[in-house]
Amino acid sequence: MPSATSSTGADREPRVVIAPSLLSCDFARIAAEVERVESCGADWLHVDVMDGHFVPNLTLGPPLVEAIAKVAKKPLDVHLMIEEPLRYAKQYAAAGAHVLTFHAEVAEGPGTAWKRPPAREIAAGFRAAGIAQVGVALNPDTPLARIEPWLEFVDLVLVMSVFPGFGGQKFMPEVLAKTRQLRAGGYRGYVEMDGGLNASTLPQCAAAGADALVAGSAIFGAPDMRATIAAFRAAARSARSGGSA
């Protein structure tokens, strides 16, 4: 079982996790793509699970996550864009998910249907299934207030910087305020950002306080993947230290 520690480096260096999204890889050559992105410096492998209900797109399920886990050496960061995360937690845990993230919008809260489970129950169900790190994701139009009471029982907050469903969308800078607010409030878990991250937007995320950075098209579409991941890591470290990227 791989560990989910951040990239190597001296203790004083800020924690930075570069998590390429496999959504942009060549799925016909998935094993080779996993090996390629790991050898180019990925810290986590971000896996986007979409159910065609919560988001208007369908991707993959537990059997493919299991196939990825068989060849992966790095932790799988599984982002569930699905309506019923609790129902499938055991399957994703058994398939090899290390980080498992559900969306805030599918948990009970103000204005939601009564049958949605409380977030605490979802997180506890994930842990009971054997998940090491539990994440909660926020759509761009979901306010931070919705998850503030949940921060004590999650390891990661995923601040979406596009509406989930597709790779290659444009970064929404207005969501950076949520990342800043999380850190200003003293949140010390991972703050992950996902959607439209590239050489110009990724340092903005890190400067705001994000330490887990997901990029799909910017990494798999790069002419030199290794150099791109190295540049993203360096820019993120510099931005997190308060330097200019």
The residues carrying an active-site annotation are 48, 194
Identify which of 111, 58, 133, 50 has the alpha carbon closest to the alpha carbon of residue 85: 50
| Interface with ligand DX5 (CB under 6 A), residue from 33, 43, 48, 211 | 48
215 touches, from ligand DX5, Zn ion, none (C-beta below 5 to 8 Å by class): ligand DX5
Burial class, 202, CB count within 10 angstroms (exposed 0-12 / middle 13-18 / buried 19+): buried
Residues 134-163 that bind ligand DX5 (CB under 6 A): 162
User: Considering only 105-113, 123-131, 210-218, 235-243, which stretch makes contact with ligand DX5 by CB under 6 A?
Assistant: 210-218
**Does residue 192 bind Zn ion (CB under 5 A)?**
no
d(CA 185, CA 191): 13
Q: Is 48 in the site for Zn ion (CB under 5 A)?
A: yes
- In the list 215, 236, 239, 245, the residue contacting ligand DX5 (rule: CB under 6 A) is 215
Residue 240 interacts with ligand DX5 (CB under 6 A)? no
Does the footprint of Zn ion cover residue 79 (CB under 5 A)?
yes
Angle at 26 between CA 225 and CA 139, to 5 degrees: 80
Cβ density class 205-226: b for 16+ within 10 Å, e for less? bbbbbbbbbbbbbbbbebeebe
Residue 199 sits in the site that holds ligand DX5 (CB under 6 A): no
Give the residue with the Cβ less far from ligand DX5, 30 or 124. 30
The 45-50 sheet, strands edge to edge:
17-20, 212-215, 190-194, 156-160, 133-138, 97-103, 76-81, 45-50
Find which of ligand DX5, Zn ion, none residue 192 binds, CB within 5 to 8 Å per kind.
none
Cα 26 to Cα 32: distance, rounded to the nearest angstrom: 9
Structure tokens at 163: 């509406």
Q: Minimal distance in Å, beta carbon 197 to Zn ion?
A: 10
User: What does 63 bind: Zn ion, ligand DX5, none (CB cut-off 5 to 8 Å by kind)?
Assistant: none
Where on the chain is the footprint of ligand DX5 (CB under 6 A)? Answer: 21, 23-24, 46, 48, 79, 162, 164-169, 194-197, 214-218
